[in-house]
Structure 1
Amino acid sequence: MDLTESLPLTVAIKDVVGQPLRLDASAVDHLGALCLQVLIAAARQWQADQIAFEIAPMSEAFIKALHNFGLPGSALTEEAA
């Protein structure tokens, strides 16, 4: 999930605003800062709208990237966002 994936990710997420969302991060081998910002913004929007938001499963690389950014693995859950 690098810079080139940030726009398609944003568009895909915008297409489902207002609906429960579950993202599969099991195949992620890289998480860039811009995609992380998109995911954080989405998690916060879903939390504000009180709609289910989940990223699961998460690859080890995805979890490690969150930790490298200083975030726990639960940072993108609706409770923690």
Structure 2
Amino acid sequence: MTELHSHVLDPGRNRNGEDPLVPFLLGARHMPVAISVRDVLRLDAHRLQILLVAQRQWRAEQLPFTLCDITESFRTGLQQLGLPPDHFDSQGLKTGEELVQ
């Protein structure tokens, strides 16, 4: 199996430049990824859009795209932006402890 690429999403989006999520996703193209959202304090629409586009791309390539360490504040952010709070649960892991080797 191809190596899993991991990234921890920063607590808030960098408004002075490119969010580190973008270069991570570009560098991890065509490989399984796991993104921890444990530190996200508030999910904004821009970051959600990036995550949804990436989720669709990885799904089209039939590769694992996993959000892990999902917190209640992240779930609340999903709901506030119009998605079910478990939207990313069906994509894989809910906690970092369950990461596949």
Pairwise TM-score range, normalised by the shorter structure: 0.7 to 0.9
Structural RMSD (CA): 2.0
The percentage of aligned residue pairs carrying the same residue is 28
Rg larger in structure: 2
TM-score (norm: length of structure 2): 0.69
Which stretch shows the higher mean deviation, 30-39 or 65-74? 65-74
Deviations along 1:8-27, one digit per CA (max 9) or x if unpaired, are 21111111011101100011
Paired residues in the alignment total: 79
Gaps of 5+ in 2: 1-11, 93-101
Shift of the alpha carbon at 1:3?
Answer: 5.4
Which stretch shows the higher mean deviation, 12-21 or 1-10? 1-10
Matched, 1:29 2:41: yes
Deviations along 1:21-42, one digit per CA (max 9) or x if unpaired, are 1100011111111110000000
Gaps of 5+ in 1: none
Q: Write the letter of the residue equivalent to 1:7.
A: D
Question: 1 or 2, which has the higher helix percentage?
Answer: 1
CA distance in 1, matches of 2:51, 2:18: 10
Partner of 1:62: 74
Q: Write the letter of the residue equivalent to 2:42.
A: H
Partner of 2:51: 39
